[in-house]
């Protein structure tokens, strides 16, 4: 009796998992097939900005981390992630005011990508021991900065709240899909793959963050002044010889009258 009940619960969870994944994929495919002019502002934003790899890669890594920790820790981290999105929305002005002191933060979405990539990547890359501890603050940090990145790319400038809700829904679907699929398999090689993906995330975060921090120090080459040609005009004219400076060179022949052959040039 108990085994039948357990089997029934497993089957139900499997159907719910498949339904979750297929529903999200179907929605994205339908949205991609709609002509760009008919997608509307929210649909265009989802395709153009919300589905950007640099925005979803940390969410993907967080879903992997949830599948590699005990269920209780994963539930706490997921709850803190949702709470973090609410905190990021509520305190985004204060957060941007604090981050704008960092060089290059304003021109790079207030460093939302490197901060989340390094946080989630370190949680994965450091291995099985510290991961259950690190995933709890990582979920909170990821939620805060993901909400900030969504608000920064909002084409309505906050005037349409459903755009923010669409971004949150996409992130929740992706995180849940990765978490549910990987937890159902529990393959032995997931640990190694998770550490590799975590290393990639840390490397991406460090590279992107380094470019942002050093961007203002990489000065472009000095452009040639607009009046450089006029300033160098006397020198250029002096380099051209005069017409009578080489008298032995000869003179061009006179123009031939109509109907006559042109005389040869006489040096």
d(CA 197, CA 219): 34
Output the pLDDT for position 242: 54
Residue 96 CB contacts under 8 Å (≥ 6 apart), including other chains: 110, 148
Q: Give the pLDDT band of residue 81 (cuts 50, 70, 90).
A: very high
Contact between 111 and 212 (Cβ < 8 Å) = yes
Is residue 247 situated within a structural domain? no
Is residue 236 situated within a structural domain? no
| CB atoms inside a 10 Å sphere around CB 179 | 20
Selection from 50, 46, 54, 62 nearest residue 142 by Cα: 62
- The pair of structure tokens assigned to 21 is 């994944």
How many domains, in total, are found in the chain?
1
Is residue 142 situated within a structural domain? yes
pLDDT tens, 6-21? 445 456 667 787 888 8
Is residue 90 situated within a structural domain? yes
Is residue 114 situated within a structural domain? yes
Residue 85 parent element (H or E): helix 71-90
Output the pLDDT for position 59: 93
Is residue 65 situated within a structural domain? yes
Residue 208 sits in which domain range? 11-217
Output the pLDDT for position 188: 77
Contact between 263 and 256 (Cβ < 8 Å) = yes
Output the pLDDT for position 55: 83
């Amino acid at each position: 009796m108990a085994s039948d009940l357990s089997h029934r619960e497993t089957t139900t969870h499997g159907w719910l998992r498949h339904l979750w994944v297929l529903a999200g994929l179907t929605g994205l495919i339908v949205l991609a097939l709609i002509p760009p002019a008919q997608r509307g502002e929210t649909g265009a934003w989802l395709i153009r900005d919300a589905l950007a790899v640099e925005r979803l890669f940390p969410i993907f890594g967080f879903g992997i981390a949830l599948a590699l920790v005990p269920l209780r820790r994963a539930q706490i981290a997921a709850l803190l992630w949702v709470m973090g999105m609410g905190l990021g929305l509520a305190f985004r002005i204060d957060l941007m005011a604090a981050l704008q002191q960092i060089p290059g933060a304003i021109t790079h979405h207030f460093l939302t990508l490197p901060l989340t990539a390094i946080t989630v990547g370190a949680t994965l890359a450091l291995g099985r021991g510290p991961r259950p501890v690190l995933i709890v603050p990582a979920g909170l940090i990821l939620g805060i900065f993901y909400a900030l990145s969504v608000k920064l790319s909002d084409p309505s400038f906050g005037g349409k709240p459903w755009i923010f809700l669409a971004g949150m829904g996409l992130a929740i679907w992706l995180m849940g899909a990765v978490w549910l699929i990987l937890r159902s398999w529990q393959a032995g090689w997931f640990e190694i793959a998770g550490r590799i993906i975590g290393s990639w995330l840390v490397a991406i975060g460090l590279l992107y963050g380094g470019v942002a921090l050093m961007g203002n120090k990489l000065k472009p080459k000095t452009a040639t002044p607009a009046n450089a040609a006029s300033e160098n005009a006397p020198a250029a004219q002096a380099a051209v010889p005069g017409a009578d400076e080489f008298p032995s060179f000869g003179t061009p022949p006179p123009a031939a009258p109509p109907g006559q052959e042109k005389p040869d040039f006489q040096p």
